[in-house]
Chain A
């Protein structure tokens, strides 16, 4: 195609530029400063940008399926310069009308936020991340249909953003909401990292997809200093005036933000932050049917993380408060820093989280374990903040689920260290040889799904180099066969086919030695009983009447049904 010809002879990338500053709408068009839409310049990794815009990981296609219109691709490069590396921000000084009505800006906004979100993940995990489908590029469709909805479709390899026009000329574009774009991008990234989370598991597993997407979206928004500063209060100056305790600062800062974001964000769901903050700490959610609905359940995790965020933030400004020297700008800076840090901790934890059969306590376990490895000292008490925030909701770090293998006499006979860093067969050989010590049943089907290198900078400035390998085990059986082994719900016909899953994650250190084993054994019958009871209670049968195989939702539509209002949660059958 003609437009690619321009890049055949592309120049060498400019060495001094690893990233571009791109203008985005800081939150969404309803969040304004001095009567104008609040924008921010965010750093996006530099990439060769073809028309679309299209990079090696994202491809913006502006197709509107409702009207059947395909808009021409947008060129974000400097028209005065040759080659695909010459990005120029045309929207730095753009007025509000341009921001809301320019297809080119919509394309830039959605591209920049998606690329920035992926960069957050790659930076925290220290490697390139695959998508959850065969292909390297995720489509971004900024005006996919006339509906207030946005979702990730694995089958279509894309994120689809709807818009909703009305006759008053006011149109809500979901592609202009920072948190919606970050949320949907997170679904796509998590699907690449943990494809089995789309399988029917425990209620926490589906909820985690929503929770992580909300957490990343909120922390991503909060890590924009300009936004936090402008939302903390209308006028410039010191905050708080007079004497304000650390506790008061915490509550006022976050609630003020929640108030601002409450009216914005998703037209269908309202603000995730506000709903999470309205959640009273306690363990009631565990037995409340309402909290089996994934979005509602996810709010528990969001609430715990946001409470931890505000504790960390408060801790960072404690000295300034005591010295009565806290300015809004400084408060915002510290807030953005703690948001950024927590975001990194949350993302990093995914490598340490099980690849299937996920539960909320696994997330806490994974965050704490991964952080202990990169920052053993925890000088700011971040881990304690997290522990307390989660404990308030009855989520405690599980004991013995992550097994320390350092002292175990594991065998490495004939194992090749180089192969072990990349080859699933070699990891399988290691598991096969050490199945007894690892407490893995050789009699069950086992597949090593992924072997990934992970690189990060440790607290001493040196590189921490690890390999993360996931394996899964599964067995197909029937309710009748399993009756003596686990609890079978009373009304379940004995011939009902059931698929059971288990597995684990192995972490190998820089010497190729197995160091940690995160286990979700298939033979945990208490867990299997809880999962089966949940699947039966929610009626998650597939089209053939089986349980545990798939959710039975239409292709590309697993994430489409966002219209979950609080009132409805828990009332459906």
Chain B
């Protein structure tokens, strides 16, 4: 786990006793590489330093490095900005990833927006187009809210911040597409098999998420999952659409009331009761925008690839930023859900979902399997890449969430990149894969 502040960057290295077919005795999987905010103690050129370490850790005996698998769990900036930056991407380029793993929603063959999808297309194709349109909407929110003076700062800054994180990250996506073309690309959904198993011998990988829309049709019942919804929201924010059917009736209303036939703009309420309310509604408008952008944030988090990796007698769980809607299918509806729950009950290493936020480690679903208290028979290690104070103004929405951190500390040995005592640029844990040994912290080499 590399120190990237608020972001994720994990390298899984498997070491073998004897050389494999290509003569190397190791295999490397990089899971995500991105950051939106630096650590508490600022680090200059944070991602460049992390990239250099990745290169070093992927190289054997000082030789040129090789990345066998690159996983980009989902398209949020804090998970892939390192792939978009010219300098850090050059490092990944040199590591020449063999396989690029992404969720099904990232398949370049899917429509990128509403113009590319017909109303009769499959639910999954329409959903992909909807995500694209939603990101266009986010772009417009950034533009509108950041520039219009009528929006008071404070809540407006929160809206802009959240919307920025939903932007399309086109440079990173294009590079990932390029690497996938050069090597191989996989676009996973729940239940698929993956070529990781061939590239990393002896490892079994279960893809627990994300489900497709066909697998979890409940997802599309929400209007926000249709491209038209986002098109309309965008048009309204731009003032291009007259939203209210009521306006069509305006003439009739004007006739009844003797008022002007024109609807009044926000500035024109006369002093008094109406203006008092109209002015206060600006804040509610921002709060509404925030909630709408949040549905996109949730939707993108829920496209996260969830991988359960079995190696020897160890189980490692990497859920990206998946929230309960993504988890739900694997835990409750998938044909093998009973077996999956059994496997999840005995996880040795858990990458804490979504930087420790309140809604990415299903409280009932996972902790009921794990139990609240430490289990000496099956000790767990949890790795949390996060930075406090970036998200959530209130205690209830803070990331990481205090109640979750307390529960993790109790049940697992928790390592966090936000630990003020952490001086090193990464946290390394290691375990022999056979013999029932727990994961243990490896003291970092002297820098």
Contacts and interface: CB of A to CB of B under 8 A. Distances in A.
A61 B223 contact: no
Given A51-B257, A103-B249, A553-B396, A1 B237 contact: no
Chain B: interface size category: 35 or more
B277 A61 contact: yes
A166 B115 CA distance: 16
Contact of A72 (B218, B233, B239, B257): B257
B257 A540 contact: no
Nearest to B283: A556
Contacts of A573: 358-359, 361, 363, 401, 403-404, 407
Interface string B217-249: 010000100101101110011010111111111
A420 to B, nearest CB: 37
Contacts of A162: 288
Nearest to B410: A491
Interface in B76-107: none
A545 B395 CA distance: 8
**For the complex, would chain B's binding face be called helix, strand, loop or mixed by DSSP majority?**
helix
A65 B283 CA distance: 9
B242 to A, nearest CB: 7
A137 B232 CA distance: 34
Nearest to A565: B325
A143 B246 contact: yes
Contacts of B264: 69-72
Contact of B278 (A63, A73, A171): A63
B256 interface: yes
B197 interface: no
A459 B243 CA distance: 53
A102 B250 CA distance: 8
A144 interface: yes
A538 interface: yes
B278 A61 contact: yes
A162 B282 CA distance: 14
Nearest to A69: B263
A167 B228 CA distance: 6
Interface in B347-379: 358-359, 361-365
A538 B247 contact: no
Nearest to B356: A573
Interface in A79-105: 79, 98, 100-104
A65 B285 contact: yes
B236 A146 contact: yes
Contact of A145 (B252, B277, B284): B284
Interface in B377-400: 393-396
B340 interface: no
Nearest to A62: B246
Contact of A69 (B237, B247, B277, B287): B247
Interface in B242-274: 242-250, 252-254, 256-257, 259-260, 263-266, 268-270, 272-274
Contacts of B243: 64, 66-67, 143, 146, 163, 165, 171
Nearest to B359: A572
Interface string A533-573: 00011111111010000011111110011010101101111
A274 interface: no
Contacts of B155: 554
Contacts of B343: none
A165 B232 CA distance: 7
Contacts of A73: 257, 259
Nearest to A546: B395
A361 interface: no
A167 B223 CA distance: 12
B324 interface: yes
A166 B226 contact: yes
Given A65-B281, A543-B395, A572-B363, A167 B246 contact: no
A71 B362 contact: no
A70 B395 contact: no
A104 B291 contact: no
B195 interface: no
B431 interface: no
Contacts of A72: 250, 253-254, 257, 259-260, 263-264
A201 to B, nearest CB: 16
Interface stretch (A19-27, A148-156, A427-435): A148-156
Contact of B363 (A70, A137, A570): A570
A157 B365 CA distance: 39
Interface in A89-128: 98, 100-104, 106
Contacts of A167: 228, 231-232
A147 B292 contact: yes
A64 B263 CA distance: 11
Contacts of B229: 164, 166
Interface in A414-446: none
A290 interface: yes
B265 A104 contact: no
A1 B281 contact: no
Contacts of B277: 61, 63, 139, 141, 156-158
B328 interface: yes
Interface of A: 1, 51, 59, 61-75, 79, 98, 100-104, 106, 137, 139, 141, 143-149, 153, 155-158, 160, 162-168, 171, 267, 289-290, 491, 536-543, 545, 551-557, 560-561, 563, 565, 567-568, 570-573
Given A102-B253, A148-B223, A570-B363, 8 more contacts: A1-B272, A67-B242, A70-B265, A71-B244, A72-B253, A75-B257, A156-B281, A561-B291
15 contacts: A64-B244, A65-B284, A66-B288, A71-B250, A72-B254, A101-B248, A141-B277, A144-B288, A156-B284, A267-B223, A541-B395, A554-B394, A567-B218, A571-B364, A572-B363
